[in-house]
Amino acid sequence: MHWLPVGLSLFATTFSSNSFVGLPAEGAFRDYHQLLAILFIPFIVIPITCKWFIPLYKSWKFDSLYEYFEQRFNRKLRLLASCVFMFYSAGWMASMLLAVARVLGEVLETNSSVDEATIILIVGILATGYTAMGGVKAVIWTDTIQAFALGGGMVFLLWSLIGDIDGGWSTFFEVAGQNDKMNMTSTSGGWGERNLFSACAYGFFIYMGGQLATYGSYQRYITVDSVKDAQFSLGVKGVFTLISCTLFFFVGTALYVFYQQLPETAQIFDTYSDGATKDKLLPNYVMNFMDGIGITGLLLAGLFAAAMSSLDSGINSMTATLVTDWYKGRDMGRGTNRKLTLVFGVAVTGAGCFMAFINAPVFDILLSVAGATLGILLSILMVGLFLPQATSVGAAAGMTAGLVVYLFVRIFIGELASDEFVEGLGAFGEIRDNTWWDGMFTTCTSAIMAIIVSLLTFTGKAPDSKLLFRGLNR
């Protein structure tokens, strides 16, 4: 594949309907700390990946990233890593379908969770169908088209919003400045606040894990011919991420400024300020305040582009990791591969229908899933690359420890613990309201435990130098 469509595909896959819905909502109801986290992608994550990891990955000539886990540790670790990735993909795609359903629910004026589940079912079937027919080439080329539909829709929305604000851009920046809507450097608050510290933790650990340790990203790197082409494709992703996500937040801020102009619209804004309803503010503006023929269709085109670009990529990657990691790349035949794609598509659609009954913003759901999975994969990959003494026992212990800490923080403290128990934790109890720390907790715990157990169980047998990071440099 040429590096340009691959780069656009990487961008479109990462920023799905979750971004289309969640980022403007974040800009409208909060500030720009999440944008700070996203800026880690073009300014930190991609440069590190291009300089040190793309040459390493291309030198391995593996069909799957998780083949490294088998070569470095054992086959059980490879299969376990594949399972973790598939769990992440399923949760990520399900939350993305949920974002589509919430927008369509507002457009169709339905508020029932059952109606949302029905919408998810229809969208899931459509994307599963063309992914099964076309494979990874269909994924990359459709993602390329969808990337422009996604960006074009947001440009038009921002232009319309600025036109509807009395005073235009000057009022936009004046109101945003007075209300600290563009603040991204706050250091106040504890564990529950979205501030500079939690944004850096989220931006580094979640996005580094997504770029380095997922099958989907690695899959794109090996579809191009050379190291330079892979680096160019990541450069394209970085540029589009910088421009588009800044645009998403500008749209969110413009929504805030627009709705605060009059008492009656400010009241509407307040009704959308809680839980899952935050995701519906953007479609509310489109349906009730935008003028022109086909405006709703433009919104839905961008939304479906965002949704399809992620759903097709995720389903294809889940099928590919099953074939390459579980069946060692055996030629399963086109018919079998398509059937597997259909099975995964149905499973993801089912998970999305289940999420329709969760009352939380889609991005919070996504970050919780990513924190539980990407941190584990990233930590074991890094321990294997940088610690010659790393053992399979240590890697397994690390993955287990990371999962236990995640379950304690997000499930027990976040959902099950009594208010008295949480209050007894002091300031740390505030973590129940902030998923931005999940990736850091999981990654660090997993890595520390893997290092300790590996040093205790190391037998003195050195791994092949090509499986260590320093092996490439040597």
Is the pTM here over 0.95, yes or no? no
Domain boundaries, the chain: 3-473
Axis crossing angle, helix 113-164 with helix 75-107, rounded to the nearest 10: 70
Position of tokens 């749209």? 251
Helices (H), 322-473: 334-355, 362-386, 392-406, 419-424, 438-457, 469-473
| 470 pLDDT above the threshold of 70 | no
pLDDT attached to residue 45 = 96
Quote the CA–CA distance of 221 and 119 in Å, as a whole number.
33
CA 270 to chain centre: 28
1-58: per-residue pLDDT in tens?
788 888 877 777 676 667 777 889 999 999 999 999 999 999 999 999 999 999 999 9
472 band by pLDDT with thresholds 50, 70 and 90: very low
Q: Identify the sign of the CA torsion 180, 183, 186, 189.
A: positive
212-270: per-residue pLDDT in tens?
999 988 988 988 889 999 999 999 999 989 998 999 999 999 999 999 999 999 999 99
Residue 391 DSSP one-character state: -
DSSP assignment of 140-175: HHHHHHHHHHHHHHHHHHHHHHHHHSTTHHHHHHHH
| 121 pLDDT above the threshold of 70 | yes
Structure tokens at 140: 């990359």
380-438: per-residue pLDDT in tens?
999 999 999 999 999 999 999 999 999 999 989 988 899 999 999 998 999 988 999 99
Fold classification of 3-473 (topology level): Sodium/glucose cotransporter (1.20.1730)
Quote the CA–CA distance of 139 and 144 in Å, as a whole number.
9
* SS3 assignment, position 32: coil
